[in-house]
Amino acid sequence: MAKKETAGANIEQLTFEQAFQQLEAIVAQLERGELPLDQLLELYAHGQRLVAHCVQLLDRAELRVREVKD
């Protein structure tokens, strides 16, 4: 559990690939449904933060591509 909390505190430092890998692992855990509800909700919230980070990184990349293109 401590590993997840540490990762959550450093989401902004993750690359897209690292964040996406964590997100895939969370989805797998959620799909198994073997954890208590409070842990599932915590994982879901962490996944939402990872998704927001990935979207932000993709938006930045798109902006850079547009700048290079112009």
Single-letter code of the amino acid located at 45: A
Overall number of domains in the chain:
1
- pLDDT score of 67: 92
Domain boundaries, position 45: 15-69
DSSP letter, residue 14 = -
Q: State the sign of the Cα–Cα–Cα–Cα dihedral 52, 12, 38, 3.
A: positive
Is the residue at 10 inside a domain?
Answer: no
- 36 sits in the region (left: phi over 0; alpha: psi -120 to 50; else beta) called beta
Is the residue at 6 inside a domain?
Answer: no
Is the residue at 1 inside a domain?
Answer: no
Terminal CA-CA length for the chain = 46
Full pLDDT tens readout for the chain, 70 residues: 334 444 445 999 999 999 999 999 999 999 998 999 999 999 999 999 999 999 999 999 999 999 998 7
- pLDDT score of 19: 97
CA–CA separation, 59 vs 39, rounded Å?
Answer: 30
